[in-house]
Structure 1
Amino acid sequence: MMSLRTLTRSVPRTISRSLAISSRSALFRPVPAVPRNGIQSALQQAMKPSYAAFSTSRAFKQSAAEGDFELVAKLEDELKHEKASGLEDLDSSVQNIQYVLQNNSWEIKDVPGEQEVSLTKKFGNEEIRLTFTVADLQNLSEQEELDALGDELDFDQPANKGNAGSVSQAPEDSVSPADREMEDAEPSFPARVNVTIEKPSNGALLIQTVAQDGLFQIEEVSYFSKPDLAHAQTAEKDWDRQSLYAGPPFENLDEDLQTYLERYLEERGINAELATMIPDYIQVKEQKEYVRWLESVKNFVSA
């Protein structure tokens, strides 16, 4: 029998021999030849640049939609019309504005693009400020539509039939021609005007009025110990003002007291002349802002 020592000596030799034989056989085993065309195609495939599955060049080259050109053309046409005849139709209003501002001490603040306009002046130790807005003219258009709808509903109702043999008389038949002309005259639109009168260390009055047909119609008179509440230029101040007692409706006051308050405003230049000018100013400013709006929209679409 083979001794244990002989076995341990022969095992490494046997393993090393088998490893050497297997390595030699692998080294000298013939390698299959690769076709030359296959190598070239593989290289071309590896060197071929990769592209995205979609193209973004179309988005950059795409021209404006056809409707854009038509919209710009319409805006330009509207601009030409408004610039040619817009203010000409309001020539009398422009002249009235110039006359009032030149012959009074009011200073006007009108920021292009903003709706609110303010007039300020000093009267003794008082600071007087009037504010009004172009939005009143837009609100008027909505009210006119409601009034027109109401007229249509009234027209659809059947007229009352008189007795047999009698001739029905329309309400307008009982109005004299002179009075009828006054009724047919188109009234000016109502413009809301807030009047604040402030005294140093004495708070301020807020008088809410409506200027129409050459008159300031007072709606409410309020007193605030803090002048900033009368102006209420922030939502917080407006909220604080609403929580305070604002005074009774003007029409509920004693008639003599109403007369004295109206005189109080008139002595400070808040009179019929100004009540006529403010609606004119709103119309002229609205026309200018409309032209500005047309230009802004046209420039944006055509950019």
Structure 2
Amino acid sequence: MSAIAALRTASRVGPARLVAGMRVSLASSVTRPAMRLGALNLARPAGLRAFSATSGRFGSGTTDISLSQKLQEELKYEQEAIAETPETPEFLKAFLEQGVWSIEDTRGNDEVALTRKFGDENIRIMFSIADIQVEDEFEGDSAEAEAEAEGENDLNIYPIRASLSITKSTGPGALNVDMTCQDGHFAIENISFYEDTKLGTELTAEADWKRRGLYIGPQFDTLDIGVQDEFEKYLQERGVNESVAAFIPEYATYKEQQEYVKWLGKVKNFIDL
């Protein structure tokens, strides 16, 4: 996880990038992230955990019951982990109490939007929970083992892609910023401008297609240092700061856990039909 920048041409787009509010993932993993909320709160027993299989109807396959039992085992474990955490985590309470950003989060969707008003400007940051799976591709088990050896369970060390849009009620246009947040900081990658506000902010496939052929501006790190500094101050003044950069990976991890538990339950129910 907008006024996320347009779909890039193949030469400019990475293997996984948030564009125009939709995640473009050419090699995204559908595997479960290596570190979950439950993994931090409960130690998994070495052997199989006890479970009781339901006696409901199953499909005609011979593996249905076994799969359902494994799903039930995992679902029970994750539900126990969630039960040990507050309904509203402290980090989320603290963020909302600041009264700066609102959270737009639809259950079942993998994208989240943070929105706020700043004078005559409408500001939105979008990010996807899918990016927390990047850990498996880039860091692997060695990084996890190293963190455990140091007594750390920091899930915020992996970059989360975020896309910012700024529009004004006083005139047309949309300023879009592609960036990543990691270790409590934003790193700007690209800044695009669209004269047509609707074109720059619509989250549709048609708008994405229209944006493809437009000039998206230079890479941020190729700009004059003075221009880079002023852009960073511009975003800081609008609340796009370290606090938000620290919040995004934490919330992405929190939401992913909730969605994973729902997924387990839905898949098990389907298998049991």
1:72 is the counterpart of 2:41: no
Distance 1:72 1:209, change over 3 A: same
- Would the aligned equivalents of 1:232 and 1:241 in 2 still touch at CA under 8 Å? no
> Following superposition, which runs of at least 4 residues in structure 1 exceed 4 angstroms of deviation?
61-66
CA distance in 2, matches of 1:228, 1:139: 31
Query: Which of the pair is proportionally richer in helix?
Result: 1
Aligned partner of 1:243 in structure 2 is 213
Match of 1:217 in 2: 187
Which residue in 1 is equivalent to 2:229? 259
1:130, 1:193 within 8 Å by CA — same for their partners in 2? yes
Q: Give the alignment's Cα RMSD to 1 decimal.
A: 2.6
Corresponding position of 1:120: 115
Question: Percent of counterpart pairs with the same letter?
Answer: 41
Give 1:82 shift. Answer: 0.5
Aligned-partner residue type, residue 82 of structure 1: E
Identify the match of residue 198 of structure 1 among 145, 155, 167: 167
1:239 and 1:62, CA in 2 relative to 1: closer, same or farther beyond 3 A?
closer
Change (3 A) 1:63 1:261: closer
Trace 1:134-173 onto structure 2 (pairs within 5 A): 134-145=129-140
SS of the residue corresponding to residue 273 of structure 1 reads helix
SS at match of 2:214: coil
Rounded Cα–Cα distance in structure 2 between residues aligned with 1:208 and 1:199: 19
Contact 1:94 1:281 in 2 (8 A): no
How far apart are 1:219 and its partner, in Å? Answer: 0.7
Tell me, which stretches of 5 or more residues in structure 1 are unaligned?
1-60, 149-180
- Indicate how the Cα distance of structure 1 residues 293 and 187 shifts in structure 2: closer, same or farther if over 3 A, else same: closer
* Aligned counterpart, 2:265: 295
Q: Does 1:106 find its partner at 2:75?
A: no
Q: Is the 8 A contact 1:196 1:231 kept in 2?
A: yes
8 A contact 2:156–2:246 mirrored in 1 = no
Give the match's secondary structure for 1:203.
strand
Instruction: State how many pairs are aligned.
Output: 206
DSSP 3-state at the match of 1:206: strand
Q: Quick check: which one's strand share is greater?
A: 2
Alpha-carbon distance between aligned partners in 2 of 1:293 and 1:62, rounded to the nearest angstrom = 19
Gapped regions of structure 2 (runs ≥ 5): 1-56, 143-149
Q: Structure 1 residues 236, 69: CA separation in 2 closer, same or farther (over 3 Å shift)?
A: same
> Which structure exhibits the higher relative contact order, with contacts defined as CA atoms closer than 8 Å and separated by 6 or more residues?
2
Separation of aligned partners in 2, 1:134 and 1:63: 32
Aligned to 1:189: 158
Equivalent AA in structure 1 for residue 163 of structure 2: N
The whole-number CA distance in structure 1 between the counterparts of 2:155 and 2:177 is 27
Structure 2 CA distance for aligned equivalents of residues 268 and 205 of structure 1: 13
Report the Cα offset of residue 142 of structure 1.
Answer: 2.6
Decide whether the 8 Å contact of 1:221 with 1:247 is kept in 2.
yes
